[in-house]
Amino acid sequence: MAEKLRVATASLAGCFGCHMSILDIDERILQLVDVVEFDRTPITDIKVIGDCDLGIIEGGVANAENVEVLREFRRHCRILVAMGACAVNGGIPAMRNQFALQDCLEEAYVHGVGVHNPGIPNDSEIPLLLNKVHPIHEVVKVDYFLPGCPPSADTIWTFLTELLSGTPIAFPYSQIHYD
Ligand code: SF4
């Protein structure tokens, strides 16, 4: 039996909606596990990445831990994919980029409606926020971009099966229009 491809996934500054979309391939996941083996991913809950054929990143880069995880994925993955609008262009989290970071923190933790015991968290365990949220290609080289918020399960399925079979990746129009 041919060796399985190793696949890792991670969510940086995202909402896990893209990972939900992976799971939305439903029973096709049984076909997938015939040809891939999952390494570090929220699906296996493995926390440390090994050498992989494919790394799939959800979410943009918003804090120091995101930078570290992303660089580690780039080091270990032969092919790296930006999955979803947040990874591709920053998405919803990048909406804070038009404001100063201090203003965002004060709005969230001091002046926000319904905030009790106001105070900006200050604990060394909390990853430091970056001034701006970045799409992942601003930090590492990215091989493929999979747009959508989230990309549909069918789009992810087309991408994975064509990538794994070595055929050029081509999506039917219905999988890449968003109106
Ligand atoms: S692209 Fe959409 S679904 Fe995916 S992490 Fe961002 S907000 Fe969530």
The string of pLDDT tens digits covering residues 60-111 is: 999 999 999 999 999 999 999 999 999 999 999 999 999 999 999 999 999 9
Task: Say if pTM beats, i.e. exceeds, 0.75.
Answer: yes
Q: How far is the CA of 57 from the centre of ligand 1 (A)?
A: 11
Question: Is residue 135 helix, strand or coil?
Answer: coil
Q: How far is the CA of 117 from the centre of ligand 1 (A)?
A: 30
Q: How far is the CA of 81 from the centre of ligand 1 (A)?
A: 14
**Ligand 1 binding pocket includes 92 (Cβ within 6 Å):** yes
Specify the DSSP element, H or E, that contains 67: helix 64-76
**Ligand 1 binding pocket includes 59 (Cβ within 6 Å):** yes
**Ligand 1 binding pocket includes 58 (Cβ within 6 Å):** yes
Residue owning the nearest CA to atom 5 of ligand 1: 14
